[in-house]
Each structure stands twice: as structure tokens, then as C-alpha cells.
Structure 1
Amino acid sequence: MADAAAILAGDEGIESVSHDGLKFWQFMVAGSIAGSVEHMAMFPIDTLKTRMQVLASGCGGSVGQALRSVVKVEGALGLYRGIGAMGLGAGPAHAVYFSVYERCKSLLGGNLPGHHPFAHAVAGVAATVASDAVFTPMDVVKQRLQLKSSPYRGVVDCISRIMREEGLKGFYASYKTTVVMNAPFTAVHFTTYEAAKRALMEVSPGGVSEERLLVHVTAGVAAGALAGVVTTPLDVVKTRLQCQGVCGCDRFTSSSIGSVIQMIIRREGYAGLMRGWRPRMLFHAPAAAICWSTYEAAKAFFQEINDNDTILS
């Protein structure tokens, strides 16, 4: 997060300006902006990931083949089908995500000088449980719209049909899997990000103030790539549950993670659990860099406003 432990350096000469003392609503606005920018920018890669994960045959053996397949049949706009649902869900979910993270991190002492991986991991898990409750319904709509030959005309049609045919539980069939996936994802992500950022600040020869953007981008790439690959099997399970019964996708009698994993292994082998890991890594590495740098910039903006208000008062 933002210069999570304001390090004033004596011997090392490292200085980092903390932005963790913002108001709660400022964390929410900064998170909302960061999440929206991240997901909108990376949406085409997310579409490819969904296509590759959802069927045993996928839509091509590689990311390049999947891309050519979508563009050839549906045109470039096919990569953006469902982006309206993402627009509705990403902002509110990330507002909850980052504000809960910041509050929990502060309560657990994660803003104090030094490295606090436990505080960062626990705060990250709490944040994902809260934000997933907000985002999962729109994620279901998004992924169903992303499917090839999706039967839904748009976001409103998809929402109304799911509610009519499956009820409210249709929007939350994958919630348990999503939380089980995102809890370790977020723990790995936040811990890696904070550790990488701190390490980069310590070796930065020119001072953190001049290289803050590079630090955030580099740490974000490392955190996103590692967390994305590690949690791919659970992401496959989540995608299958969210898209079950649509466009020829398998329907499951149980939303149990174990039963879905067993079915995938039985039909596709263990390789089926890693389907789409490349586009997932290609999504999360730059997405994390975009999200963190945007979030940090928004926090710095709010901090400047707060500082000016303090001076004027």
C-alpha cells in the first residue's frame, strides 16, 4: 500500500512520505478509481482468460490463438463484451477493498516502522471477504457475457434472467470459491507488494521520492504475477461455477470446491486446473502495477489536499 511504513532513514538516507492517515472516504475514492482503471484497461485479457478456462477445449491452445479466434469471429469488440458489468462492479468493490485493507492494516500495526507481513496478510484477507460480497454478482454477469455465443443481450438482460431462472443464489454460487481463492491471493499479493516495495526503497540510489512510481509499478508486477499463478486452480473452479449451464458449459450438482476439482481432474487431468494461467498472469502483473500506481497517486493527491487544509486552518 502507500508507503505503508513511513521510513525515515537515518543511516540509509531513505525517506518515504506516508499517505496512510487519510480519511476513510478518501481511501474509498482512491480505491474505486484504481480498481476501475485497472479492470477497464485489462478487460480484453480477462475475456481471453475466461474463454480459455471455461471449456475443456478452451478457445485456442495459447493466448495468441485465443485472441485471433475471438477477433476473427466477433471482431475487436468481442473482447469487451461484458465490460458494462465490470464498470458497475469494479468501482464499489475496490472502494470496499482498499478502505477495509487500510483500516485493518492500521489496527494491526501494519503502518508502524518495520516489515509486518502478518498484518498485511490478515488485512488483505479481511478486505477480500468484504469486497467479494460486493463484486461477485457483477463478476458472474461479466463472465457469462464474455462467453462465446453468450445467450444474453446485455447486462440488464443477464441480471433479470439469472434472477428469474436461478434466483439470488445464482449470483453467489461461486462466492465461497471466490473467497477461498482470493484470501490466499490477497495474502500473497499484499505481502509480496509490501516486501518488494520496501526492498526497492532500501536499494534505491536516488531516493524514494524520485522513484516512487517505478517502485510501485515494479512491486505491483511482482505481486500480481506471483499471486495470479499460485491461485489459478481456484480461479478455474470459480469460472466453471459462474458459467455453468451456459453455452455448453458443464453444470455441477454441487458448488463444493472439492467436487468441481475432482470432475476437472477426471475429465482433463491436472493440467485442466491450470487452464488460462498465462492470460491470468498477463492480466494480474500489469493490472496490479496499474492499480497500485493509480491508488498511490490518488492517495498522494488527497494527502496534498489534507496538508493544504491543515496549513490554511
Structure 2
Amino acid sequence: MATSDDYESLPESVHPSIHMAAGALAGIGEHCVMYPVDVVKTRMQCMNPNPHAKYRGISHAIREMMANEGIFRPVRGVHVVALAAGPAHALYFSCYERMKILLSGSSQAGHNPLANGIAGCFATLFHDALMVPADAIKQRLQIYASPYSGALDCLRKIRRGEGLSVLYRSYTTQLTMNIPFHSVHLIVYELFQDELNYSRLYDPLSHVISGAGAGAIASAITTPLDVCKTLLNTQECCLASTGGPTCSLPNNPNITPTTNGNTVLATAEARGLISAVRVIYIQGGIAAFFKGLTPRVLYQMPSTAVAWSCYEFFKHFFAGKPTIL
């Protein structure tokens, strides 16, 4: 039986490179495995979807994409995420592991919810600095009838038409979403672990259950901010003259609120979180902030389960501790 000093069966002196290597592999696995569901989420959050991009659910969306746009359409842009997820998650997990020990001490690491939440905030700053531009490119490739032939073409057109700074246009929104997301996620994960695996031994089932539960709760809470991020990244509130991707813009682009609030289109580009909130509310009311809730939760549950189970496995494997292999 492990004692309270055997933090996750690993000594405090474990080199950060172990956490970084385990985190990189976990991040790549997480994003690649669940990427098709992420594509569906992006399309379902579209404020003005193309008539050919309206779906009844996740399975229907994937079938329609494969039938009408090609068998590989649900994974278009996955390489962009894979390239960014490795270093982003390496920094994320190594920072989180180090900060929670510094904030709560090695004997209580993982058992102090406040320390876990604060550590998550710091880890998110490093993670998002790398993932935000990748997300912007990825989501532009994910939308229906994307005007880009690939990631490099997208990057070139952004540089010429809008400037590379737009890749970080959703950074504030992303941080506003991801700081509470990852704080809640990490707090809930460690609380689950306190109940299922207090001694922090390598226990695959507890890591899967804890990861899935934490991902579901955190993603549901932060869905409205994810909708704002999608709007900013795909530029759906821009005029067609901006050169950015648009989704079935009506002939009259004036803002004309109706009684049901569903036929409104903004005439100006949303440049930040506040303007994105305004545009979304005008177009669809409160309900619009929860578009894509189901695919987001269904994406995050297995995604975080995969991430944590992979991370814990590789962390113990690289440290020479017993695993299932």
C-alpha cells in the first residue's frame, strides 16, 4: 500500500522531461482520436450554416461529410492539431505537475483543490499560447465549403488578406474559456481520484472514469465561451468583402432583429469576446450560446479519458514503474 508521500507512485525528483514526453503523447492521442467529433462540433456551432451543413446529430453529420465531401473529410486538418498538441500538452502537464507540488507540497500534491485549480491556470497559459493559432487554422479547414486547399494555403491567405495577428484574435476568449475549463477539469479529476485512487497508484479504470467525468462537467460549463471562440476563428460575422470564410450570407446583410431572433446577421467583424457575445445573442438569443453542447460534451468525455489514461500510462512507463504492459 502506498503512503501519502508516494505521490502518484513517482518521486518528486522525477525529471520534467518524463511529464513532457507523457503529456505530448497523451495530447496527440487525445486530439487525433476524437478529431471527427470536433469537426461536427465546429459545424454545429456555425451561426449561419450552409443548407448542406445542417445535421441531426454526430453520426448523421459524419455520414453526410463522408458521402458528399469525401471519405477523409472528417479528418481534414488533423495534422495541424497533432503538430501543435504535442508541445502544447508537454508544457501543460509538466507545468501542472510542478505547480501543484510547489503550491501544496509533495505530500499533499493532488489533494488540494485550490492548488490544483491555480496550477491549472498557469498550465493553461502555456498550452493556449501554442494551441490558439492551430485552432484558428483547424476550424477554418473544418467548416463546410472551406475556401482553403490546406493548412499552408490557409496560412498564406490569412497573412495576405488579414495579417497573422488574426490567428490570436480568439486568444482572450480562449483563455477566458480554458482557464475555468482546465481549473474545473483538474479540480474535478483530482476529486474523483481522491475517491477512486487516493494513493495515486497507476489504475487505468480510475483514470478513465475520472477523466471522463471531469471533461463532461468542465465542457458543459464552458460551452457558451466555446461558441464565441468558434465565431471568432471562423469569422462568420464578417462581411463577404473581408475575404474570410462565410456561411450562407443572406442577400441583405443588415442587422434586422426579428421576434424570434433567428434571422439576424451582423454587418461588422467581431474582434473580441464582447462583440462576439453581442453578435451571437442578436442572432439566436440565449439558446445560441449552447449550440454544439452535445457534441462538445461527447467529444470531451472520451477525449479527456484518453488523455489522462495515456498520460498516466506513459508517465509511469517512462519512470520505470509498473503498468499494464
Residue 59 (1) aligns with residue 54 (2): yes
Residue of structure 2 in register with 1:26 after alignment: 18
1:96 aligns with 2:81: no
- Report the equivalent of 2:167: 171
Partner of 1:41: 33
Aligned twin of 1:304? 320
Q: How does 1:201-240 map to 2 (within 5 A)?
A: 201=197, 212-240=203-231
Displacement of 1:64: 3.3
Query: 1:258 deviation in Å?
Result: 2.3
Paired residue type of 1:281? V
Distance across 1 between alignment mates of 2:164 and 2:155: 10
The whole-number CA distance in structure 2 between the counterparts of 1:117 and 1:77 is 42
- Give me the whole-angstrom Cα distance separating, in 1, the residues matched to 2:314 and 2:11: 10
Aligned to 1:71: 66
The offset of 1:20, in angstroms, is: 5.1
Q: Alpha-carbon deviation of 1:252?
A: 4.7
Mapped pair 1:289 → 2:305: yes
Q: Give the root-mean-square deviation of aligned CA atoms.
A: 2.4
Residues in 2 aligned to 1:150 and 1:19: alpha-carbon distance in whole angstroms: 49
Where does the alignment leave 5 or more consecutive residues of structure 1 unmatched? 1-5, 306-313
Q: 1 CA distance for matches of 2:211 and 2:232?
A: 29
Tell me the CA shift for residue 251 of structure 1. 7.2
TM-fit CA distance, 1:7: 5.6
- Which amino acid in 2 is paired with 1:162? I
> Judging changes above 3 Å, is the alpha-carbon distance between structure 1 residues 182 and 299 closer, same or farther for their aligned structure 2 residues?
same
Higher mean C-alpha deviation, range 224-233 or range 108-117: 108-117
1:160: how far off? Answer: 1.5
Unaligned runs of 5+ in 2: 239-243, 248-265
AA paired with 1:97?
Answer: Y
Deviation track 1:194-244 (CA, whole Å, cap 9, x = no partner) reads 000110125xxxx975x7000100000000111111100000000110010
Check whether the contact 1:19–1:303 (CA below 8 A) recurs between aligned residues. no
Deviation at 1:76, TM superposition (A): 2.8
CA apart distance, 1:95: 1.0
Using the size of structure 2 for normalisation, the TM-score is 0.83
2-structure distance, mates of 1:281, 1:110: 33
- Structure 2 counterpart of 1:101, which letter? Y
Using the alignment, how far apart are the partners of 1:126 and 1:182 within structure 2? 11
User: Offset of 1:26 from its aligned partner?
Assistant: 1.8
Q: Does residue 161 of the first structure (1) align with residue 157 of the second (2)?
A: yes
Q: In structure 1, how many angstroms separate the alpha carbons of the residues matched to 2:303 and 2:124?
A: 17
Distance 1:277 1:46 in 2: 12
Question: Which TM-score applies when normalising by structure 1?
Answer: 0.86
Which residue identity lines up with residue 246 of structure 2 in the other structure?
A: G
Give the % identical residues: 39
Q: Is the 8 A contact 2:232 2:272 kept in 1?
A: no
Give the stretch that moved more between structures: 178-187 or 147-156. 147-156
Give the drift of 1:61: 3.8
Pick the aligned partner of 1:247 from 245, 259, 271: 245
Summarize deviations over 1:5-33 as a string: whole Å, max 9, x none. x9627xxxx99623654212221111111
Q: Distance in 1 between matches of 2:17 and 2:188?
A: 26
Aligned to 2:261: none
Which sits farther off after the overlay, 64-73 or 155-164? 64-73
Q: Kindly provide the CA deviation profile for residues 269-298 of structure 1, in whole angstroms up to 9, marking residues without a partner as x.
A: 211100011111111100111000110111
Per the alignment, do residues 75 and 108 of structure 1 end up closer, same or farther by CA in structure 2, a change over 3 Å counting?
same
SS in structure 2 opposite 1:152?
coil
Determine the C-alpha separation between the residues in 2 that align with 1:85 and 1:103: 28
Q: Is the 8 A contact 1:52 1:66 kept in 2?
A: no
> Do the aligned partners of residues 136 and 236 (structure 1) sit closer, same or farther apart at CA in structure 2, a change above 3 Å counting?
same
1:8/1:16 contact within 8 Å kept: no
Compute the displacement of 1:65 (Å). Answer: 3.2
Q: Give, in whole Å, the separation in 2 of the partners of 1:101 and 1:121.
A: 9
Instruction: Give secondary structure in 1 for the equivalent of 2:72.
Output: helix
Deviation of 1:190 (Å): 0.2
Q: 1:41: how far off?
A: 0.5
Write the deviation string for residues 106-135 of structure 1: whole angstroms up to 9, x where unpaired.
211164237200110000011111110111
Q: 1:198 aligns with which of 190, 194, 198?
A: 194
- SS of equivalent residue, structure 2 residue 104: coil
